[in-house]
Structure 1
Amino acid sequence: MQIFTEYRSELFLKKYGIKVSKSYLTNNAEKALELSRKMKFPVAIKIMSPDILHKTEAGAIIVCRNEVDILTGYETLLNIVKKRKVKLEGILIQEYLTGNEIIIGIKKDETFGHVILFGIGGIYTEVLKDISFRSCPVSKKEALKMIEEIKNIKILEGYRTQKPVDKIVLSSIISTISKIPLKNKTISELDINPLIANGKSIIVVDARMILD
């Protein structure tokens, strides 16, 4: 089994034309500070380790609102790495995006082969459990049906101050991702959660991939 961190998973997704958030990987606190200046605050800093699959639960994500936060946050993350004795690929410096949160995933099923899932992402994934499934690959038309199937579709249609998600753009992304296993049959799991969606802008801000 081979586990791809978020950084490596997002590099992989970029090859398929999937938009990912602006980010940099470093192993140096001063470099982290320098890289953060290429973005607008707030920014997120994250531990990149194949040994930490769920970063939020591990305290491996810190939102920084200024340069002081970058340095103190960097030190905090290194302490977590030392305490948990995990392999460190680096610290990711990432632009902080807000909007509708979406999950798209691929799992290899013993009976059905690769299946793709779509639903409301972020912290609501486990709470709402509002997911649609299909066998891979799916057409854009079928992907659009997946979007319409979820119970909480109104969240994506412009709830409160959020921009409505462009379903045509989203269906194209779902279809593209569903075709990835055709040339990558060793993928056991691809978890993209969340993608941040604002109108036509749909960007990956966290991902994980596991190969057989």
Structure 2
Amino acid sequence: MDCQEIIKKSIADGDAVIPELEAQKICRNFNIACPPTILAKGKEQCSSVAQAMGYPVVIKVFSRHIVHKSDVGGVITGIQNADQLDKAFEQLMDNVSKNAPGAEVEGVIVQKQMPKGVEVVVGGLKNDQFGPVVMFGLGGIYVEVFKDVSFRLAPLNKDEALRQVKETKVYKLLQGVRGEKPCDVAALCEVIVNTGRLLAAFPEIKELDFNPVFCYPDGCTVVDARLVLK
């Protein structure tokens, strides 16, 4: 299924947000890297998928009725082995049952837990006056606290993306602090450029949110991808 077909199906299904697995497919079509991610239908399949993928893993509830998984306890990270996975699966289901009792659960997403990097956010929206706009800044749980962000019209090139990155305070972290290796800023700029291309390519996408994006000395990975439809 290509990107346009995914979007059309999501609209036909009445989805306000493109489901995570499909969102990752769209990202990969635009050379935006995401962690290995597989949907499991039950505990047994969840266990076999995790075993094949290799620990540590993250599990997330998969439900079209739940947009913000963390808000209902629908994400459990740092699972190191099969015993922990078994307990985490039961905890996840219990959390969702209590906090989102009306949600239809279609399965559990098993995702390879990526090593920590410098956390940034890459986002975008459609502005009524200017069109597609790409945002970059400090990511993770602090994005709303520090509001260390910069904006550019999309599409944009790598030189403009680099200027956008340099406008933020997080750029100092990307250069390496206290003996840490500098991050691959060129790869990050490529993510920003490709995000702008993605946003400009599909008028049906109202906004997108890649948070966090982990930046490493040798690349970047979008850990969580959210694409919101008009």
TM over 0.5: yes
Aligned AA for 2:29? Answer: K
Structure 1 SS opposite 2:60? strand
Structure-2 residue corresponding to 1:6: 20
1:31 aligns with 2:45: yes
- Which residue of structure 1 aligns with residue 10 of structure 2? none
Q: CA deviation at 1:127?
A: 1.9
1:53 positional shift: 2.6
Distance in structure 2 (CA, Å) of the matches to 1:148 and 1:112:
22
* Alpha-carbon distance between aligned partners in 1 of 2:123 and 2:62, rounded to the nearest angstrom: 20
Two-structure CA RMSD over aligned residues (Å): 1.7
Answer yes or no: is 1:54 the counterpart of 2:68. yes
Task: Compute the displacement of 1:13 (Å).
Answer: 0.6
Which of residues 122, 135, 152 in structure 2 aligns to 1:134?
152
> Of the candidates 156, 159, 168, which is equivalent to residue 186 of structure 2?
168
Q: Does 1:68 align with 2:83?
A: yes
Contact 2:125 2:199 in 1 (8 A): no
Give 5+ residue unaligned stretches, structure 1. none
Count of residue pairs brought into register by the alignment: 212
- Post-superposition Cα deviations, 1:169-198, rounded to whole Å, max 9, x if no partner, equal 211221111011332011111111111111
How far the C-alpha of 1:124 sits from its partner, in A, is 1.8
Q: What TM-score do you get using the length of structure 1 for normalisation?
A: 0.92
Per the alignment, in what secondary structure is the counterpart of residue 138 of structure 1? coil
Paired AA for residue 108 in structure 2 = I
Deviations 1:45-74 (A, max 9, x none): 011223333222321111212211211211
2: CA distance between counterparts of 1:162 and 1:51? 41
Runs of 4 or more, structure 1, over 6 Å off, are none
**Alpha carbons of 1:3 and 1:30: their partners in 2 closer, same or farther (altered >3 Å)?**
same
Q: 1:134 to 1:101 in 2, by over 3 A?
A: same
Name the CA distance, whole Å, in 2 between partners of 1:73 and 1:91.
11
Residue matched to 2:170:
152
Query: CA 1:112 to 1:89, structure 2 compared with 1: closer, same or farther past 3 Å?
Result: farther
For 1:68-110, what per-residue CA distance to the aligned partner results, in whole angstroms no more than 9, with x for missing partners?
1211211222233333121334211111111111111111222
Once the two structures are superposed, the pairs formed by residues 164-203 of structure 1 within 5 Å of their partners are 164-203=182-221
CA distance in 2, matches of 1:130, 1:67: 39
- Whether 2:122 is the aligned partner of 1:107: answer no
Is residue 2:109 matched to residue 1:95?
Answer: no
Identity %: 33
| TM-score between both structures, scaled by the size of structure 2 | 0.86
Indicate conservation of the 8 Å contact 1:5/1:207, yes or no: no
Moved more, 29-38 or 82-91: 82-91
Structure 2 unaligned regions, length at least 5: 1-14
SS in structure 2 at match of 1:196: strand
> What residue number does 2:57 align with?
43
Structure with more of its chain in helix, by fraction: 2
Map Cα deviations across residues 149-181 of structure 1 (whole Å, 9 max, x no partner): 002321111134643211112112211110113
Q: Deviations over 1:114-162 (max 9, x none)?
A: 2110111111212221011011111111000011000232111113464
For the 8 Å contact 1:162–1:198, the answer to whether it is kept is no
Q: Give 3-state SS (helix, strand or coil) of 1:119's partner.
A: strand
* Alignment partners' CA distance in 2, 1:6 and 1:161: 36
